[in-house]
Structure 1
Amino acid sequence: MKLTEMYKQLILILTFLQMGLVETAFCQKLDSNKTVLMDVGDVWHKIKSKSYQIDTTKTKIGVPLLTILPGFGYSQLTGFTVLVDANISFYTYKNTNLSVIKITPEYAQNKQFTPILTTSIWSKDNRYNFVSDWRFYNYTLRDFGLGGQTSEDVYNHFSYNFIRLHQVLLKAVASDLLIGVGYNFDKHFKVKSIDDQLVTNASDYGISTSAVSSGIVLNALFDTRRNENSPVADGWYANFYFTQNIKLLKSSSNYKSIYVDFRHYVSFPKNSKNILAFWNLNWLTFNGNAPYFDLPSTLWDTYDNAGRTFIQGRFRGKSMIYFETEYRFNILRNELLGGAVFANTQSFTSFSNQQFSKLLLGYGGSLRIKVNKKSNVYFILSYGAGTGGAKGFFFNLGEVF
């Protein structure tokens, strides 16, 4: 989830840290070799009652596991912001992947409103996967122009409304392999430059007051993760989207796009619970010009995570490649607290010759706090720095990837 120049949940985080430091007082053991897992809820109940016995039962089929995280923050662009981040996870059937619904309404002082709903719902035996990405933005952003050589000091302010309706239905054709079709609709309207004149190369590409991308999607998915909230060792994920946007479906232009997302997770050291995670994202547009704000851009992937360290929209181009590696580890035996270190790099095609730019680097560390052990959801606070002096705090409810 996007977050730049924002200091969210500081009081809450400090409280969680204090909770973690008292692990030895709260640690409940099943036997001499196994420590009972804990989350924030267990800590809260332990504080209220020393006789509280930590729940060690397994997740029940069909029972929704709700995790809600209220937040607040501040940025120079939006002013004060309040939000509610919700994760609803459940197993529809036995031996089926965990279904996840994420809801994030956010409201800012400058009247920005960005409700987002994403879903990944699995049917019995993982025969079908129902994937949604619905959102509405009343939004303001900084735009730095096209390519990877743009300056952080040269930008324009834009405001717009944005509607996204992405829907895909996939059917299993082999174990963990699914193929499907869908429809993508993106509309930016009431687009307005807040500045007197455009100072970036955005004007050379062309920006209209209203633009639509509308197209048919062909999708292939390979997914061995059983819980997307917190993938474990030996997990593989590969997602391929091909979208044909056409004027016949009211698209502003005819163009094609390919979105390919690869992820892999290994245990390091071997047989430990520490995870070394790898992520590669390739996002290409071709055979026509996409509307400007539908071009590949930093932190504009499906879950607004590709390029943390930089502000959303910091880099933009007709094509984008992205790599990230993260090492996740437990700090406490009961997994209440953990940490991570990460490094990423991204590159965008230039406006003039469509050649990829130099690699743009980002790196940082994260604090991980388990807020729901049943669905294995962590609250993750990251701080990163990168090329050109970029720096900032970012947070997620669930893994970044």
Structure 2
Amino acid sequence: MAQSRLEIPDTIKISDDTLVAQRDLIDVVRSVFNIKPRKISAREKKKIYFSILPISSSDGRSGGKALFTSTTAAFYLGDQGTTNLSSLTFTPYFNLKGRYGLPIRSNIWLDNNQWNIVGDTRVLVYPQYTWGLGGNQPEDDRFLVDYKYLRFYQTVLKKIKPYFYAGLGYNLDYYMDIESSGATNLRDFTGYNFGTGSGQDVLASGVTLNLLYDTRKNSINPLPGAYANIVYRINGRAFGSHNNWQSLYIDVRKYISLTHSGPKNVLAFWSYYWTSLTPGTPYLSLPSLGWEPYQRSGRGFVQNRYRGQRLAYFETEYRRDITRNGLLGFVLFANVNSVTEATNHNFVYWHPAGGTGLRFKFNKKSGTNISLDYGVSKNFSSLNLNLGETF
């Protein structure tokens, strides 16, 4: 009875008279080592569901090797029948090429979904290649930029009507000790004048105006529903920013269940549009592939491969369970992106990628999957490992 109202049920309905018990990797470990789960009384409800993934793998963002540990805590801060699942994710990261970071993300839903509080804090040392502006830069024409990075984003949204929210936020990006490799500096390589001086620090600080529409109950593993988010950012010297500039980010997602019962059989769509609205945007804050708020776009591409004043992105994914108990599944995905050219600010070149992946149910209570994806684009391929779905 205590678990009958959980968002992620313990059974999967195959037909009107057939239920199959869900199974996850925790169940597998318990059965292998003969661990007896603690009995939960009818009055007791578990508050937090942890998922931990310590791993060494290839780094799909840089093409090298990486060591990271991803920990997700999922919990309810209100009645489970009327409150979305909140999550807190901590992913310390070390790249064997000298890149490391401490990112913490949070998505908090208060009782009855009256408030949604979203946070993103990162401390990074992040040497990374850039290819300049536009979508037609040759693969070999790249430039290594080394910098330290501090991000602090916080947004508070209030429910206006069911599923619709509005709120304010504060965004800070602090790029420190921007260094260029070789004799050429970043300004000469890109031809861009804002935030490209060698050895300089760049501070972008401003407020955001936010609109959110979200019918998903679980952002870790979205069930059929829809999501739309609009973020208008205003940076100014009054907030400590080095330049006055503005940007707009629009994110839309839709999840369609292809069956009414049985194992997961879902078609998911994702599109976002990201644009700098005024001159003065620092180079490292310009729209760039893989640098949208969740840093999940561009499977099959190296992160930062394309950058411009505006970026358009489209992706679709087919998600299907392989086993009836939900333990194992697979996905097929395809995406395409384009950035505007530096000379005329038009979308000219479109870059496709595609791939497939496996899903291993880590925690059936929170719906957390281990996602292993292989993506391919022209001249590049990547292997991505995450906790939770890509979008």
Q: Are residues 1:338 and 2:325 paired?
A: no
Q: Are residues 1:176 and 2:163 paired?
A: yes
| Alignment partner of 1:131 out of 118, 121, 130 | 118
| Structure 2 residue aligned with 1:69 | 53
Distance 2:216 2:242 in 1: 37
Regions of 4+ moved over 6 Å: 53-60
CA distances 1:313-363 after superposition (whole Å, capped 9, x unpaired): 011011101110000000011111000000001110111111113211010
Distance 2:248 2:381 in 1: 30
Please report how far the alpha carbon of residue 42 of structure 1 lies from its aligned counterpart in structure 2 after TM superposition: 0.4
| Alignment partner of 1:304 out of 289, 295, 298 | 295
Distance 1:83 1:194 in 2: 27
Distance 1:343 1:38 in 2: 29
Residue 114 of structure 1 aligns to a residue whose secondary structure is strand
Q: Which has the higher helix share?
A: 1
| Structure 2 residue aligned with 1:191 | 178
Q: Which amino acid aligns with 1:217?
A: T
Residue 358 of structure 1 aligns to a residue whose secondary structure is coil
Please report how far the alpha carbon of residue 245 of structure 1 lies from its aligned counterpart in structure 2 after TM superposition: 0.8
Please report how far the alpha carbon of residue 210 of structure 1 lies from its aligned counterpart in structure 2 after TM superposition: 1.5
Residue 125 of structure 1 aligns to a residue whose secondary structure is helix
Distance 1:333 1:134 in 2: 38
Q: Are residues 1:255 and 2:245 paired?
A: yes
> Counterparts of 1:1-400 in structure 2 under 5 Å?
33-49=18-34, 63-74=47-58, 80-94=65-79, 95-198=82-185, 202-206=189-193, 207-208=196-197, 209-233=200-224, 235-269=225-259, 271=261, 273-386=264-377, 388-400=378-390
Distance 1:252 1:352 in 2: 25
Distance 1:382 1:57, change over 3 A: farther
Q: Which amino acid aligns with 1:224?
A: T
State whether residues 124 and 150 of structure 2, in contact with CA within 8 Å, keep that contact through their aligned partners in structure 1. yes
State whether residues 98 and 127 of structure 2, in contact with CA within 8 Å, keep that contact through their aligned partners in structure 1. no
Distance 2:355 2:43 in 1: 33
Please report how far the alpha carbon of residue 110 of structure 1 lies from its aligned counterpart in structure 2 after TM superposition: 3.8
The alignment's C-alpha RMSD in Å is 2.5
Please report how far the alpha carbon of residue 271 of structure 1 lies from its aligned counterpart in structure 2 after TM superposition: 4.9
Please report how far the alpha carbon of residue 107 of structure 1 lies from its aligned counterpart in structure 2 after TM superposition: 1.7
Please report how far the alpha carbon of residue 73 of structure 1 lies from its aligned counterpart in structure 2 after TM superposition: 2.8
Distance 2:326 2:89 in 1: 23
Please report how far the alpha carbon of residue 268 of structure 1 lies from its aligned counterpart in structure 2 after TM superposition: 1.6
Q: Which amino acid aligns with 2:213?
A: F
Aligned length: 370
**Larger displacement relative to structure 2 (266-275 or 145-154):** 266-275
Runs (5+) with no aligned partner, structure 2: 1-13
What is the TM-score normalised by the length of structure 1?
0.87
Please report how far the alpha carbon of residue 55 of structure 1 lies from its aligned counterpart in structure 2 after TM superposition: 8.6
Distance 1:101 1:141 in 2: 27
Residue 93 of structure 1 aligns to a residue whose secondary structure is coil
What is the TM-score normalised by the length of structure 2?
0.89
Runs (5+) with no aligned partner, structure 1: 1-28
Distance 2:187 2:206 in 1: 29
Residue 205 of structure 1 aligns to a residue whose secondary structure is coil
Identity rate, percent: 33
